[in-house]
C-alpha cells in the first residue's frame, strides 16, 4: 500500500525514490546521494524522508519484483489477493502519514469489521470476531464460556497498554539516550526534554491507569501464563 502511495503517484517524492535491481556497479552507486537497501515499509519511509530533507538522488534497492516488504498484497492463488504477512495498518505512525502527506498521495484506510475469521481445521466451527462485543462473546462462547466472559476485560486491559506505549513509539532510542545517558550537557538535556515532553507526558498519564506488573508479564512471560491470568 505504501509502495503504491510513494511510487505510483508521479509526485516529486515518488520520482526521487525509484526501485531498481541490486546489481548496481560502483560507478552507478556514486551517482546517488543515498542508497536505501530494502524497499519494505521502513526503507520506503526512510527514502521519502531523505528525499524530503533535500537529498536529490535517493535510490531504493529492492531485490524482489514488488515493493512493500512484509506489507505487500499479492495474488498467491490466481484471482485471489492476500496480505502476505502484515495485514493491519498498526505500525505506520500517524506522524509519518501527516509529514509525508500520504492521504494526499492516495492512502485510504479501511476499518476492519469483521476483524478476523479463524476456521477450525476438520470442523464446522469457526471464530469470527468484529466490532460487536455481544457477537464476539457469542462467538468465543462456542469454544469457552469463561473466555467469552473475560474477553472484553482483556481488551480493555490491552488498550491501557496501548495508551502507554503508543506515544513512546514516536521517540527514537537515541533521543532517550541523549536525555538520560551520560555525556550530554544539562542545557542539551533540558532542550531535548522540552522537545519530547508531549509524548512523555502522555505516556506518564497513561502509566497511572495501566497495570504495569501485567504489562511486564505480557512482554516477558510465556503466552501460556499470560492467557490464563485474566
Ligand atoms: C507474519 C507477520 C505479520 C505482521 N502483521 C503486521 C500487522 O498486521 N500490522 C503491522 O503494522 N505490522 C505487522 N507486521 C510487522 C511489519 O510487517 C513490519 O514491521 C514491517 O514490514 C517492517 O518493514 P521493514 O521495511 O523494516 O522490513 P520488510 O517489510 O521485511 O522489508 C524488507 C525489504 O528488504 C528487502 N531486502 C532484504 N534484503 C535485501 C537486500 N540485500 N537487497 C535488496 N533488498 C533486500 C526485502 O525483499 C524486503 O522487501 C507483521 C510481520 C509479520 C512477519
CA distance 127 to 117: 6
Residue 39 domain-assigned (yes or no): yes
Domain annotation covers residue 120:
no
Q: Which of 9-18, 52-61, 201-210 has the highest mean pLDDT?
A: 52-61
In whole angstroms, how far apart are CA 191 and each of 69, 95, 169, 179, 197?
Answer: 37, 21, 20, 9, 10
- Residue 168 within a domain: yes
In a domain, 77, yes or no: no
Query: Counting atoms of ligand 1 from 1, which one is nearest the CA of 90?
Result: 11
Residue that the C-alpha cell 526534554 belongs to = 193
Q: Is residue 13 part of a domain?
A: yes
In angstroms, the CA 148 to CA 183 distance is 52
Asked whether residue 42 is domain-assigned, the answer is: yes
- Residue owning the nearest CA to atom 13 of ligand 1: 86
pLDDT tens sequence across 188-205? 888 888 888 888 899 999
Residue 17 confidence class, pLDDT cut points 50, 70, 90 = very low
Q: How many angstroms does the Cα of residue 92 sit away from the middle of ligand 1? A: 12
pLDDT at 194 (0 to 100): 87
Write out residues with Cβ below 6 Å of ligand 1: 22, 37-43, 61-64, 69-71, 85-88, 90-91
Domains contained in the chain, number: 2
Rounded distance from Cα 86 to ligand 1 centre (Å) = 8
Decide if 78 is inside a domain.
no
Residue 20: is its pLDDT beyond 90?
Answer: no
Domain housing 57: 4-70
Q: Which pLDDT score, from 0 to 100, does residue 15 have?
A: 40
Segment 64-74 mean pLDDT: 94
CA separation (Å) from 217 to 48, 117, 203? 37, 28, 19
- Show Cβ contacts of residue 193 under 8 Å, excluding neighbours closer than 6 positions: 179, 200
Of 55, 70, 85, the domain-final residue: 70
Rounded to the nearest angstrom, the distance between the alpha carbon of 173 and the centre of ligand 1 is 20
Q: In what order do the strands lie in the sheet with 34-37?
A: 17-20, 58-61, 34-37
Last residue of a domain, one of 70, 88, 106: 70
Question: Do 151 and 137 contact (CB within 8 A), yes or no?
Answer: yes
Mean pLDDT along residues 128-149: 96
Q: Is residue 8 part of a domain?
A: yes
Q: How many Å lie between the centroid of ligand 1 and the Cα of residue 138?
A: 35
Percent of the chain with pLDDT over 70: 86
15, 50, 70: which is the final residue of a domain? 70
Average pLDDT, the chain: 85
Amino acid at each position: 500500500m505504501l509502495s503504491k502511495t510513494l511510487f505510483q503517484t508521479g509526485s516529486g517524492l515518488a520520482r526521487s525514490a525509484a526501485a531498481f535491481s541490486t546489481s548496481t556497479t560502483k560507478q552507478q552507486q556514486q551517482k546517488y546521494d543515498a542508497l536505501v537497501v530494502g524497499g519494505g515499509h521502513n526503507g520506503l519511509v526512510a527514502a521519502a524522508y531523505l528525499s524530503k530533507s533535500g537529498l536529490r538522488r535517493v535510490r531504493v534497492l529492492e531485490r524482489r519484483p514488488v515493493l512493500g516488504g512484509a506489507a505487500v498484497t499479492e495474488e498467491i492463488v490466481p484471482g485471489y489477493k492476500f496480505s502476505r504477512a502484515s495485514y493491519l495498518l498498526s505500525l505506520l505512525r500517524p506522524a509519518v502519514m501527516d509529514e509525508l502527506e500520504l492521504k494526499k498521495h492516495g492512502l485510504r484506510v479501511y476499518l476492519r469489521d469483521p476483524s478476523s475469521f479463524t476456521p477450525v481445521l476438520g470442523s464446522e466451527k469457526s471464530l469470527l470476531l468484529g466490532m460487536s462485543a455481544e457477537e464476539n462473546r457469542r462467538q468465543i462462547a462456542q469454544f469457552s464460556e469463561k473466555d467469552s466472559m473475560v474477553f472484553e476485560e482483556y481488551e480493555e486491559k490491552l488498550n491501557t497498554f496501548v495508551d502507554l506505549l503508543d506515544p513512546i513509539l514516536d521517540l527514537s532510542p537515541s533521543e532517550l539516550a541523549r536525555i538520560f545517558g551520560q555525556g550530554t550537557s544539562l542545557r542539551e538535556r533540558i532542550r531535548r526534554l522540552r522537545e519530547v515532553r508531549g509524548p512523555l507526558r502522555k505516556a506518564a498519564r497513561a502509566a497511572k491507569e495501566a497495570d504495569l506488573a501485567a504489562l511486564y508479564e505480557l512482554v516477558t512471560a510465556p503466552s501460556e501464563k499470560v492467557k490464563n491470568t485474566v
